[in-house]
Amino acid sequence: MSEIIISPLFKAKLFEYFDYDIEKTFNATKEDLSLFSEYYMGEITVPRDFLKRRDEIDLNKIYSDFKILQDKEKIGYITYNDERYPKILKNIPDFPLMLYYKGNFADINFDRVVAFVGSRKASLSAKEALASIISEFRGLDIVIISGLAEGIDAKSHSAAIENGLKTIGVIGSGFKFQYPNSNKNLYKKIEEGAGLIFTEYPYETPPLPHQFPQRNRIVTGMALGTVVAEARIKSGAMISARLTLEYGRELMCIPGLISNPNTEGVYYLLKNGASMVTKGEDILEALNWDIVLDEKEAPKLNEIEKKIYDEIALGPKNMEDLSIILNIGINDLMVSLTSMELNALIKQAGGNYFIAG
């Protein structure tokens, strides 16, 4: 028999039905659930065998097991009624009743949270554009939230950390699993001071497919706006975009190369009213945040370097392309590229040159 999944929406609505009293919610009777179903006119279904499964729960054992984990793994938790619970998250229809966390709430401004979502197989140009945008928030009281997956998620968290910003990761498993394995260092940095990691799943819950779309509602639900950086039409990022609109939050997109299949979702969203983001100021304007970014001094370039910089700004280029397009010899080109790299104006990866964030 397949496992019965109890939806977050059912739990949230049952909690609301009992006036946010967790004890009454947990002790609901068969008659209570019947009245609950009538109240919602069948729109919210009571899970099969819900009462049987509820009665099998040993609360004392759960509490004692968690106390051990709390001390050993440094895991905390907040409930809906905790003063630290993000108020904005309470506004989504299927809010989590409880969140486990690692990290520290210090200096986390839940009134200034921006979500960044996108492809796990994001292009290098998308990652660099995202990092450049986030770098413009250096020194500001802005928090970056994402899902601690590969690609855009990982780049969002790392760019936040590199620029001294707090970051929040929301994972789709229990804390026993650090998924994907490639993000272990990110987990560690966030836990040790860069921000918070949240999950609604108990410690031993593995990363199952249906939990990642559920995780997305917390990422977007905790943010005033969501920025999409590369997404196929059918993807987790597009689920996040839909949730953002359902929650009445601001949806924004970073444009990319139209030849890249991962931008198909981005341009669909832009055509249907999402705000375009090419710099940090665009996000501040879309969210109506009265924050003025520091003016960045324009890079000081000689004539050849300016031509190179302007060309790379149009999109990543390798040395051969630059030599042909700009009609510059390879030796002269190498000298200029090396100088620009040393001055952190451009960076090289995979044989291509990019504008440095």
Statement: residue 44 has pLDDT above 60: yes
Q: What is the band of 197 on the pLDDT scale with cuts at 50, 70, 90?
A: very high
Could you give the CA distance from residue 284 to residue 280 in angstroms, rounded to a whole number? 7
pLDDT surpassing 80 at residue 298: no
Instruction: Give the model's confidence band at 346: pLDDT under 50 very low, under 70 low, under 90 confident, else very high.
Output: confident
In sequence order, the 6+-apart residues with CB closer than 8 A to the CB of 103 are: 190, 191, 193, 194, 195, 196, 197
Does 1 score more than 50 pLDDT? no
User: How much is the pLDDT for 143?
Assistant: 98
The residue ranges of DSSP E strands in the chain, in sequence order, are 76-79, 98-103, 113-118, 143-146, 166-170, 195-199, 225-229, 250-253, 275-276, 317-318, 346-349, 352-355
Mean pLDDT of the chain: 91
- Tokens for 61? 């054992």
Query: 10 Å Cβ neighbour count for 178?
Result: 18
The residue that leads in pLDDT, 241 or 312, is: 241
Among 93-97, 243-247, 331-335, the least confident range: 331-335
DSSP helix/strand/coil, 8: helix
Burial bucket for residue 244 (CB in 10 Å: 0-12, 13-18, 19+)? buried
Asked whether residue 344 carries a pLDDT value surpassing 80, the answer given is no
Given a cut of 80, whether residue 234 has pLDDT beyond it is yes
User: In this structure, what DSSP letter does residue 253 have?
Assistant: E
Tokens at 103, concatenated: 């990290």
- What is the pLDDT at residue 2? 39
> Percentage of residues in the chain with pLDDT exceeding 90?
70
**The predicted structure's pLDDT at residue 4:** 55
Give 4-31 pLDDT, tens digit per residue.
578 999 999 999 999 999 999 999 999 9
Question: Please, which pLDDT band fits residue 68 given cuts at 50, 70 and 90?
Answer: confident
For 275, other C-beta atoms within 10 Å of its C-beta total 17
- DSSP-assigned letters across all residues of 26-92: HT--HHHHHHHHHHTTTSSPPPTTHHHHHHT--HHHHHHHHHHHHHHH--EEEETTSTTS-GGGGGS
Q: Are 284 and 278 spatial neighbours (Cβ–Cβ below 8 Å)?
A: no
Phi, psi dihedrals of residue 73, rounded to the nearest 5°: -100, 0
User: Can you read off the two tokens belonging to residue 189?
Assistant: 């940095």
pTM: 0.85
Among 36-40, 215-219, 314-318, the minimum mean pLDDT is found in 314-318
